């Protein structure tokens, strides 16, 4: 019967024999890696405005309807306001009356001035006229100047009133502040609209769609990768198989406390009006992980109930190194742990390769 010492020697020999077979090793790689996250987005018009009437009146004509393509400055609707027209006519009448009053004042002043000049010339001859006649004539001239000044002030006030009325009349025409598409129509001819009316709501809604805003909620973990000017691809269910692009233009710089995301806006050109506000695209957001992540084959990572590790080979001995799994990049897996790019690990690792075991290694082809 073999002794206990013989059994120990035999067990060590068998253990060494079990691991005398070669194991395949691969180097730990380190390289910059980009991932792509599929994030939901929302397309919005570049500009959107609800058009209101700036003056109270009745809708006379609506020249556009939902879906109408309009140009900047184009007439969209016109109103009529009889009270405003009467006020304008009254202001113009006051202006004409002020002009007539000034003409009369000018005539009286000219007559008084001529009389004064004749008396002044006659006063050069001693005894031709009484001294107080010249003084009285001068006072008449001064008295005639006062109505002249008053009529000029009245003319300026009347002209200002006419100008204000004309400007208010211009408010009866509703024009497009920018080029775009009418997306809502709220009124029809005969409706009373404007600030003083009971229905002070908008007349029309205009949206600019030749270029659009694509809003993407970027997770907090990926906001460091946001770069102004980056081009980002997205797809839409309405156009299967097609890819569109947008350019990062605006960043919120504030996280939503509920979703822990940051709103990022992309500018999207839409020259053929294929895209529409309200669409929900799937955005291929370029996510950047660590600057130089460590990469190993997925088969090199061992996961047990107690730990996750790789088997590093150093000086021919097996070392268990705890790691945390990251994202899968192609055929390689990102890991975080006490590794360096100079290390080599067992390509097909198992917990049967005990720590401290001596290994015969060969490089993977």
pLDDT the model gives residue 7: 45
pLDDT the model gives residue 234: 97
Rounded mean pLDDT, 183-195: 91
pLDDT the model gives residue 343: 92
Rounded mean pLDDT, 3-14: 47
Residues of the chain with pLDDT > 70: what percent? 70
pLDDT band at 346 (very low <50, low <70, confident <90, very high): very high
Compute the chain's Rg from CA coordinates: 45
- Topology of the domain covering 36-47+209-288: Elongation Factor Tu (Ef-tu); domain 3 (2.40.30)
168/222: higher pLDDT = 222
pLDDT the model gives residue 114: 75
**pLDDT tens track for 98-128:** 677 667 766 776 777 777 666 666 666 665 5
pLDDT the model gives residue 63: 96
| Mean pLDDT, the chain, integer | 82
DSSP assignment, residue 358?
B
49/316: higher pLDDT = 49
Query: Does the structure show a pLDDT above 50 at 9?
Result: no
DSSP3 helix / strand / coil % (the chain, rounded to 5): 30, 40, 35
pLDDT band at 17 (very low <50, low <70, confident <90, very high): very low
Residues of the chain with pLDDT > 90: what percent? 44
pLDDT the model gives residue 44: 97
Cα(first)–Cα(last) distance of the chain, in Å? 48
Top-level class of domain 52-78+173-205: mainly beta
Query: Does the structure show a pLDDT above 50 at 10?
Result: no
305/132: higher pLDDT = 305
Give the C-alpha separation, 267 to 263, whole Å.
Answer: 13
How many other C-beta atoms are found inside a 10 Å radius of the C-beta of residue 363? 10
pLDDT the model gives residue 13: 43
- What is the pTM (predicted TM-score) of this model? 0.59
Rounded mean pLDDT, 283-299: 81
Strand partners, 76: none
In the chain, where the domains are located:
36-47+209-288, 52-78+173-205, 82-170, 293-363
Angle at 302 between CA 298 and CA 303, to 5 degrees: 110
Rounded mean pLDDT, 166-174: 77
Highest mean pLDDT among 15-19, 76-80, 153-157, 182-186: 182-186
CATH number for the segment(s) 293-363: 2.40.420.20
Among 196, 175, 190, 187, smallest CA distance to 84 is for 196
pLDDT the model gives residue 179: 96
Which of 124-128, 180-184, 248-252 comes out lowest in average pLDDT? Answer: 124-128
**pLDDT tens track for 81-102:** 877 666 666 666 666 766 776 6
Query: Does the structure show a pLDDT above 90 at 184?
Result: yes
pLDDT band at 349 (very low <50, low <70, confident <90, very high): very high
pLDDT the model gives residue 33: 66
Let me know if 352 is exposed, middle or buried by CB neighbors in 10 A (0-12, 13-18, 19+).
exposed
């Amino acid at each position: 019967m073999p002794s206990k010492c013989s059994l120990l020697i035999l067990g060590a020999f068998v253990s060494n024999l079990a691991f005398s077979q070669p194991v395949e090793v691969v180097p730990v790689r380190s390289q910059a890696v980009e991932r792509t996250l599929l994030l939901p987005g929302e397309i919005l018009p570049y500009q959107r405005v609800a058009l209101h009437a700036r003056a109270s009146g009745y809708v006379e004509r609506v020249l556009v309807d939902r879906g109408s393509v309009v140009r900047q400055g184009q007439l969209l609707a016109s109103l009529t306001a009889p009270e405003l027209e009467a006020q304008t006519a009254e202001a113009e009448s006051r202006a004409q009356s002020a002009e007539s009053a000034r003409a009369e004042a000018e005539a009286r002043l000219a007559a008084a001035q001529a009389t004064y000049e004749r008396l002044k010339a006659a006063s050069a001859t001693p005894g031709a006229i009484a001294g107080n006649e010249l003084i009285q004539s001068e006072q008449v001239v001064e008295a005639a100047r006062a109505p002249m000044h008053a009529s000029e002030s009245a003319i300026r006030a009347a002209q200002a009133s006419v100008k204000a009325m004309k400007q208010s009349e211009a408010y009866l025409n509703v024009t497009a502040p920018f080029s775009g598409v009418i997306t809502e129509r709220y009124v029809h001819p005969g409706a009373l609209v404007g600030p003083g009316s009971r229905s002070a709501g908008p007349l029309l809604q205009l949206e600019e769609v030749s270029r659009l805003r694509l809003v993407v909620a970027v997770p907090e973990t990926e906001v460091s990768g946001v770069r102004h000017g980056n081009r980002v691809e997205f797809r839409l269910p309405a156009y299967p198989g097609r890819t569109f692009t947008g350019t990062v233009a605006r960043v919120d710089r504030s996280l939503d406390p509920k979703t822990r995301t940051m709103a990022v806006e992309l500018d999207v050109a839409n020259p053929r009006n294929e895209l529409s506000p309200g669409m929900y695209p799937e955005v291929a957001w370029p996510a950047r992980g660590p600057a130089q992540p460590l990469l190993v084959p997925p088969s090199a990572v061992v996961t047990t109930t107690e730990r996750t590790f790789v088997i590093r080979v150093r000086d021919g001995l097996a070392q268990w190194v705890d790691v945390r799994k990251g994202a899968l990049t192609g055929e390689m897996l990102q890991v975080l742990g006490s590794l360096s790019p100079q290390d080599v690990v067992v390509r097909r690792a198992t917990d049967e390769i005990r720590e401290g075991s001596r290994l015969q290694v060969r490089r993977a082809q």
